[in-house]
Amino acid sequence: MSLLHGNDQPGRYPPSWYAATAQAPGPYPVLAGDLRPDVCIVGGGFTGLSAALHLAQTGLQVVLLEAHRVGFGASGRNGGQLGSGQRQGQDWIEARMGDGPARALWDIAEQAKALVHALCDTHGIDAEYRPGVVHAASTRAEARASWDEADKLQRHYGYDQIERLDHDALNRLIGSGIYTGGTLDNGAGHVHPLKLAFGLARAAEAAGVQIFEQSEVRSIHEGAETVLRTARGAVRARQAILALNGYHERLNGKIAARVLPINNFIAATEPLGDRLREVFARDVAVADDKFVINYWRPSADGRILFGGGESYGDRFPRDIRAVVGKPFRKVYPQLADVGFDYAWGGTLGITTARMPYFGRLAPNILTAGGYSGHGVALSVMAGKIMAEAARGQAGQFDLMASIPVAPLPGGPALRRPLMVLAMTWYALRDRLGL
């Protein structure tokens, strides 16, 4: 059973708090027959919707094909954190790409946050943005490293939005005493990701994009004209964009060689009432420094949305509440009696470098994905970058494509088992406190 079909009912959103609190657009029709647009986009998440919107605004005819519903995948299931920078820190990028490209990549990440705000303002999308993201460090060394990074960002990149937090300040802010310190990034924030995805879909539709749902692409034929076939139709386009991330379903070997699907899980507590204020002094999001990251934030209706735990197979665990409950109660032992009203899983894409993979799969086929847990802002920006590249303005695309993202180890048969083995080892180190 595939990741695209093994954990969800066809055409239905997962039983998430997000789906329960957002009104979906559409439903859009199933593709039937043949179409010949200028551009065909595969994938109705942040990347595909953003690319479709930006291309349609230039007057091109755009068709978007989604296997389930718009916002169905990682875009509508994630932690909602609109983070600063790239997935790796600037030291990592400088060491591998040099100071100039590192600066340009920082600027792209800042533009990504600004783009989300601009799209929400322009198209009236209420994504429930709240400022503030905390990085919680498990060790003194990691806390000092986060403070040093904040100092560097201010000195060399002019970014002055990050506050230092010692153990006591962090505990007062997020109500957990298990971390040694960290930082608060006031230039970052958190959103309701499914409302953002739905808003982008409505904006794309208004701009003239033809959106088709429950229209899974079964095959792609490359050539001067790319042919994308579904069960009931086909699209022939001069250009194509594959915005698949972790749900690439073996459609393209180049993507499969660099983007590994993994599963992550979130649960939403019951409403906490006054107890929420005992935990959160401010409406901020949090992420810690574990290899299998714990991340959480308060919701608009007084819950805690807590993400934790990963799996690497095709199926989600039977009891997601138990998977997420274990790290939740370690972070908040004072909330051990609190139950979860919602629990859901999703599939994202990661790379060996934990940096996104941008690629030109053929002269007229572009892709971006593998955001490695840092995709809310960057995936929206990726859509805009690919829309520009499709129209011949490829400067930012070429920069993103130059990030050193090595292929996954092993051939098609071994790459997933080898990566799963490595990730299981690092997850074990988390549990052992190493």
pLDDT at 429 over 90: no
pLDDT tier, 288 (very low <50, low <70, confident <90, very high otherwise): very high
pLDDT band at 420 (very low <50, low <70, confident <90, very high): low
pLDDT band at 157 (very low <50, low <70, confident <90, very high): very high
User: What confidence score (pLDDT) does residue 419 get?
Assistant: 59
Q: What is the mean predicted confidence (pLDDT) over 348-365?
A: 96
Cis peptide before 27 (omega within 30 of 0): yes
Give the mean pLDDT of 60-79.
97
Give me 102's structure tokens.
């590192």
Position 142 scores a pLDDT of 96
Scored b (16 or more CB within 10 A) or e, 156-182 reads ebebebbbbbebeebbebbbbeebbbb
Tokens of 309: 């735990």
Task: Please calculate the CA angle 92-373-259 and round it to the nearest 5 degrees.
Answer: 85
**Nearest Cα residue to 35 out of 10, 56, 62, 16:** 62
The residues with which 130 forms a beta bridge, in sequence order, are: 190
pLDDT at 411 over 80: no
Segment 163-179 mean pLDDT: 97
Alpha-carbon span 62 to 385, nearest angstrom: 16
pLDDT at position 11 is: 86
The CATH fold assigned to 28-78+194-260+353-423 is FAD/NAD(P)-binding domain (3.50.50)
The domain ranges of the chain are 28-78+194-260+353-423
Residues facing 298 on adjacent strands: 304
From CA 307, how far away is CA 319, in angstroms rounded? 14
Q: What is the pLDDT of residue 4?
A: 83
Going by C-beta distance under 8 Å and a sequence separation of 6 or more, which residues neighbour residue 310? 262, 263, 264, 265, 292, 423, 427
For the chain, percent of residues with pLDDT exceeding 70: 94
DSSP bridge pairs for 296: 286, 306
Query: pLDDT at residue 352 above 60?
Result: yes
Instruction: With CA atoms as reference, report the closest residue to 116 among 103, 104, 130, 135.
Output: 130
Residue 432, pLDDT > 70, answer: no
Closest CA to 167 of 178, 159, 156: 178
pLDDT-derived band at 168 (thresholds 50, 70, 90) equals very high
Average pLDDT over every residue of 176-191: 97
Residue 144, C-beta contacts closer than 8 angstroms, at least 6 positions apart: none
pLDDT band at 3 (very low <50, low <70, confident <90, very high): confident
Q: How much is the pLDDT for 5?
A: 84
SS3 per-residue string spanning 317-336: CCCHHHHHHHHHHHHCHHHC
pLDDT, tens digit (0-9, with 9 covering 90-100), for 326-341: 999 999 999 999 999 9
pLDDT tops 80 at residue 375: yes
Q: Helices 193-206 and 376-390 meet at what angle, rounded to 10?
A: 20
Would you state the pLDDT for residue 364? 97
Q: What pLDDT shows up at residue 14?
A: 95
| Mean pLDDT, rounded, for 375-387 | 98
Q: Is the pLDDT of residue 261 over 80?
A: yes
Given a cut of 80, whether residue 431 has pLDDT beyond it is: no
Mean pLDDT check: name the lowest of 51-60, 116-125, 135-144, 285-294.
285-294
pLDDT in tens, 198-218: 999 999 999 999 999 999 999
Average per-residue pLDDT in the chain?
94
The stretch 339-368 carries a mean pLDDT of 96
Least confident of 160-164, 290-294, 407-411: 407-411
